[in-house]
Chains A and B, each alone.
Chain A
Amino acid sequence: MVLAGAAAIAWWLTAVQTSTATRTAAGGTGTAGTTAAVARARAEAAAWIAGQVSASAIIACDPGLCPVLQDRGIAPGRLMPLRAAGGPLGADVLVTAGSVDGPLATRYAPARIASFGTGGGQVEVFAVPPGGMAAYQTALRADLAARRSAGSQLLRNPRIRFTGTGAAELRAGRVDTRLLATLAVLASQYSFQVSALGDAAPGAPVLFREVVITGIGPGRSGALAMVHGQEPPYVPAHVTAVGQTGLSIEFALPSPLGLLSPVLGAGQ
């Protein structure tokens, strides 16, 4: 029985290793796309990850992709090459190459946050929820409801003016929770217009993490200092001045869930 078990494990490991080898090869040569297209998708993904994913996030990556990410300046200490017998547990983000990685993503990382290229050369980026799939789905539903509710309340804020499109996005719950909270606090001292919402995550469900606000007037330097002075998780990845009176604020991925209703303990 022990021998049979050992044989089964050995077979499974071999199968996984073969699968990984195939995956890497497929990603490298491209069964559905040209080598150039695959390389382009990888380069785009690496550049995007370097600019959009939180600088503190641990990234589990296909062994063929890790060096590309490192070349884009991501510290080796943040990269976790996927091993044959292990998943991306302990990582915050999973980067897969090609559709053969699909089962891995399905098992560990249900939330796709970006996608580059097509077919066998496709590179996909997923958020890895710490509590597992079921907990993630529950948290996602609750987060969406909280975003819709908070967004609708923010629309009543007399110090913030929204465009029709922006208002619709808020009502639909498609604005990052950190952005919502930041706008609410900024409005405690400033009046402004939300001119644009931005999302730089190709191939993924829309969740706006960037906002351009205008019309702050002479208070802009104070607003800039306020945004810069926050502590995690409310520290933006990028804050830049826009025009004479505007500000662009962007938060990194992955977007945390549950920030709008962070009740400690079970309570009642």
Chain B
Amino acid sequence: MRFFRLRLARLAAMATVLGSMLGLIAVAAPAASAAPAGGTTGWIRIAHLSPQAPAMDMYVYPFGDPGSPTVLKDVRYGNVSRYVSVTPGQYSVAMRGFGAPATSKPALTTSFMVTAGGAFTLAALGPDPGLRTEVLKDQLNAPSGQAVVRVLQASLKQHRVTVSYGTNVLAQQLAFGSATSYTAVVPGAQTVKFTAPGEQASQAVTVTADSAHTFVVLDNPAGFKVTALTDSSGSLAMPEGGVAAGFGGTAPHPAGSPAPWLAMIGAGALLAGAALVRLRSGTSSAR
């Protein structure tokens, strides 16, 4: 039901955008790179980062309206959902096994506050049993021409990890379940190095200007594994979700910015409108 409403809301928003684009198509491109709007909406996404935990369904219940939860089903290890817009307020997060009915007993994992204009990642971390949900506040913009990155340490094998991005040390002996603040970095291709007792790894990454990313340290059979989440990428009025460019992640790729498509649709609509007017005026003249 919630998804249905969200879709309706998105369709309505898209219709509004399209409508306004008919008159303002020339300024559509600058708007696409503007910072996300604050307003009356917040965003949440869910990340399953516990290799031991099975697929699950996550329910996010508003304190004031328990009949309208945000539900993400079949969240599996490595999955990161798109951002979903929610009304600002207090929420409880509950987990159920994948496919369990909504009337079954949920496990309350955390409660958190969504602020207007804020974006949050709910990250399921840790062993199972012992799974926990951490709430991260995501940054929605970067200094002009730069990128910002942070590290979330979710490795169960290594409890303390040092992470560097080129010459920038992003995290020093970062403990499991901890996250760093965002650090501004020069965008482009770079090497990220991970060090822990008896283990070292490096990976090539590419981050684009005006974007924000979270590097998540995870385990794989060979040692470290890193998933780069894109927190924002010069988006329209909502942040981008999913996996960043540069190296492998297991989450589905986010859709690109809708601006070019909207521009194309808008331009098409304009052309069609112009043709219609011309056809009508032609018909009037013929009369």
Contacts and interface: CB of A to CB of B under 8 A. Distances in A.
Interface of A: 146, 149-150, 153-159, 177, 180-182, 184-185, 187-189, 222, 225-226, 229-231, 234, 259-268
Interface stretch (B65-73, B258-266, B267-275): B65-73
Interface in B236-281: none
Given A180-B63, A188-B66, 6 more contacts: A189-B103, A260-B111, A262-B112, A264-B136, A264-B177, A267-B182
A261 B105 contact: no
Contact of A263 (B90, B129, B137): B137
B108 A185 contact: yes
Contacts of A146: 90, 113
Nearest to B106: A185
Contact of A231 (B63, B92, B109, B139): B109
Q: Is the contact region of chain B dominated by helix, strand, or loop, or is it mixed?
A: strand
Contact of A230 (B61, B69, B107, B120): B107
Given A150-B63, A226-B106, A184 B111 contact: yes
Interface string B124-136: 0000010000111
B135 A181 contact: no
B4 to A, nearest CB: 18
Contact of A264 (B105, B139, B178): B178
B148 to A, nearest CB: 9
A266 B178 CA distance: 10
A149 to B, nearest CB: 7
A184 B180 CA distance: 31
Contacts of A177: 111
8 contacts: A146-B113, A153-B89, A155-B64, A156-B64, A158-B65, A184-B61, A263-B135, A263-B136
A264 B134 contact: yes
Contact of B105 (A149, A155, A226, A259): A226
B105 A229 contact: yes
A159 B106 contact: no
B65 A157 contact: yes
B111 A181 contact: yes
B92 A185 contact: yes
Contacts of B63: 150, 153-154, 156-157, 180, 184
B181 interface: yes
A265 B179 contact: yes
Contacts of A188: 59, 61, 66, 69, 92, 94, 106
Contacts of A268: 137-140, 182
B146 interface: no
A153 B180 contact: no
B136 A153 contact: no
Contacts of B162: none
A262 B111 CA distance: 8
A39 to B, nearest CB: 42
